[in-house]
């Protein structure tokens, strides 16, 4: 029997707290393994408050910020916050730290540099281990470190970031898409970084972030995914990952309407406006980008894609439903009712 695949899902904290708790409970009841709480201080409720409440409203769900960063909270505050949450849910909490995308852009600053990531992750790990960390001329420790292991992962999308994650973190959250070429290239970079620290990929917790939409038809899902596909493949990370994905895009001129979407194309409050702004990209290009980006289609399509990914060695997925300002009700239902039963029948999910 193949090793089971773990499936986590993003929770945007853009709804009132009581609604968020009901949503998180439905995620646990739906059979998911974990929930990552969006951390973007002007878009969503406070991540660590939400994580603390989620810890009290669930019994087995793994919980983590997805993803926090080194600048809206000092590393000492990050260590304190995640250690506090872990007291409420021992053994089922991890910390995922990234460079901070919308956390930075909405307050007019740049995302964290890789040297800042290195320092932050090292400090958080040191404090969680109960050891003293240096802060300038001072040294201090976390007075209530539990001694229990709290994994510290690094979200990474570029080659240098992936190598850094392999070198210093307990594992990466890979924001790169997922198809055969992408998986192979990402693992090359990860292995290179792990080797610098005398480690192997098998020593790391590797989670693959995948854009996700489950709708009644593939055509509906592809239309819904337009803003995220264009954002990923044309405006942001895709520049490096298109080649290993086997994609060559035609010449495209990005219209001004794209830059006017708030806060950005893939986190748009007005999703229909974001879809309209991407009309400059042909349907066939969107379809190719969606294939490289993740799980876009019917629930049955998604189950088939996950089966393909597990054959490439993928064992942990982080679903990123498209909408930031609406709950992922369709994805929860699609995975609960179709995807998980099919994966279980294929021996890729543990029977409960």
pLDDT digits (tens, 9 = 90+) for 247-264: 999 999 999 999 999 999
Closest CA to 252 of 219, 281, 291: 281
Q: How far apart (Å, rounded) are the C-alpha atoms in residues 168 and 216? A: 42
- Give the count of alpha carbons within 13 A of 131, CB side only: 8
pLDDT band at 238 (very low <50, low <70, confident <90, very high): confident
Looking at residue 302, its pLDDT comes to: 98
For residue 318, report the phi and psi dihedrals to the nearest 5 degrees: -120, 105
pLDDT at 351 over 80: no
Burial, 260: exposed, middle or buried (Cβ in 10 Å; 0-12, 13-18, 19+)?
A: exposed
Q: How far apart (Å, rounded) are the C-alpha atoms in residues 215 and 300? A: 10
Q: What is the DSSP letter of 68?
A: B
Q: How far apart (Å, rounded) are the C-alpha atoms in residues 190 and 206? A: 9
Looking at residue 28, its pLDDT comes to: 98
Average pLDDT score, the chain: 96
pLDDT tens-digit readout, 267-320: 999 999 999 999 999 999 999 999 999 999 999 999 999 999 999 999 999 999
Which CB contacts under 8 angstroms, 24+ apart, belong to 302-305? 302/212, 302/214, 302/334, 302/335, 302/339, 303/338, 303/339, 303/342, 303/343
Looking at residue 352, its pLDDT comes to: 55
Q: How far apart (Å, rounded) are the C-alpha atoms in residues 175 and 242? A: 13
pLDDT band at 101 (very low <50, low <70, confident <90, very high): confident
Q: With beta carbons less than 8 A apart as the criterion, state whether 277 and 288 touch.
A: no
Q: What is the largest CA-CA distance in the chain?
A: 60
pLDDT band at 2 (very low <50, low <70, confident <90, very high): low
pLDDT tens-digit readout, 166-182: 999 999 999 999 999 99
Q: With beta carbons less than 8 A apart as the criterion, state whether 101 and 133 touch.
A: no
Q: By three-state DSSP, how is residue 314 classified?
A: coil
Looking at residue 251, its pLDDT comes to: 93
Looking at residue 236, its pLDDT comes to: 84
């Amino acid at each position: 029997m193949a090793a089971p695949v773990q499936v986590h899902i993003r929770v945007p904290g853009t709804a009132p707290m009581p609604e968020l708790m009901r949503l998180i409970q439905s995620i646990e009841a739906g059979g998911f393994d974990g929930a990552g709480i969006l951390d973007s201080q002007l878009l969503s409720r406070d991540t660590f408050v939400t994580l603390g409440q989620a810890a009290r409203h669930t019994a087995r769900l793994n919980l983590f910020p997805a993803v926090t960063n080194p600048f809206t909270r000092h590393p000492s505050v990050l260590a304190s916050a995640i250690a506090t949450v872990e007291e409420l849910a021992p053994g089922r909490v991890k910390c995922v730290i990234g460079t901070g995308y919308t956390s930075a852009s909405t307050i007019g600053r740049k995302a964290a540099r890789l040297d800042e990531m290195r320092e932050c992750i090292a400090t958080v790990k040191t404090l969680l281990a109960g050891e003293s960390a240096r802060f300038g001329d001072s040294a201090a420790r976390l007075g209530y470190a539990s001694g229990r292991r709290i994994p510290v992962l690094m979200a990474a999308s570029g080659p240098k970031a992936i190598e850094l994650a392999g070198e210093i973190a307990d594992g990466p959250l890979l924001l790169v898409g997922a198809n055969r070429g992408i998986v192979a290239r990402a693992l090359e970079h990860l292995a290179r970084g792990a080797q610098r620290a005398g480690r192997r990929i098998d020593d790391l917790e590797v989670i693959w972030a995948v854009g996700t939409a489950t709708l009644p038809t593939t055509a509906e899902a592809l239309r819904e995914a337009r803003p995220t596909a264009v954002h990923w493949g044309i405006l942001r990370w895709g520049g490096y990952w298109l080649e290993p994905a086997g994609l060559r895009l035609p010449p495209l001129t990005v219209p001004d309407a794209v830059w006017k979407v708030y806060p950005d194309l893939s986190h748009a409050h007005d999703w229909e406006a974001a879809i309209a702004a991407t009309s400059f990209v042909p349907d066939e290009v969107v379809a190719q980008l969606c294939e490289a980006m993740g799980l876009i289609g019917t629930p049955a399509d998604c189950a088939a894609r996950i089966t393909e990914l597990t054959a490439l060695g993928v064992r942990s997925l982080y679903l990123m439903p498209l909408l930031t300002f609406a709950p992922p009700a369709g994805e929860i239902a699609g995975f609960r009712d179709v995807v998980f039963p099919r994966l279980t029948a294929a021996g890729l999910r543990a029977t409960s």
